[in-house]
Amino acid sequence: MMFKSVALLALLNAACASAVALVPTSAPLRRQVATKSMVLITLCSGVDFTGLVCGDWNSVAGEFPGCTSLIDPENPDGDSTPVASVAVPAGVTCTIFTNTDCTGSDLVIAPDTSIPDLSVDNFSDVTQSFLCTILSD
């Protein structure tokens, strides 16, 4: 369990340092070009935003992460750290998925939404990847 937590923390840090093109989750959404880094999603391993692993995934100025897997790239056969709570800020919508490539069952999280316990949506501990879109004003 400790390795999984350390692996997700390493992924959180790596995501903050890199970005690729964003793939919109639905056609009507327009991308906003950010001039600075911004929080896209907060993921925590415990309910109510607690746990050994809890952190923000950020965009990098002018660039946005695409599908982001929660599996440690150095251990692709390993499990991801469980995600029990999630928050998305205003101006962003995110979808979390049960597969590592942004496929499988999904849960769309609207802008300015906090879900302190994903078990309410039957999504606790099954999140393997996410995809966020920054909405225009």
Class of the CATH-defined domain 2-134: mainly beta
DSSP class of residue 120? G
Most confident of the ranges 4-13, 37-46, 102-111: 102-111
Name residue 16's amino acid.
Answer: C
The tokens for 55 are 């952190």
What digits encode the pLDDT tens for the residues 21-65? 233 333 333 334 444 577 889 999 999 999 888 888 887 765 667
Distances (CA, A) of 122 to 14, 115, 119, 125: 28, 12, 5, 9
How many whole angstroms separate alpha carbon 22 and alpha carbon 54? 23
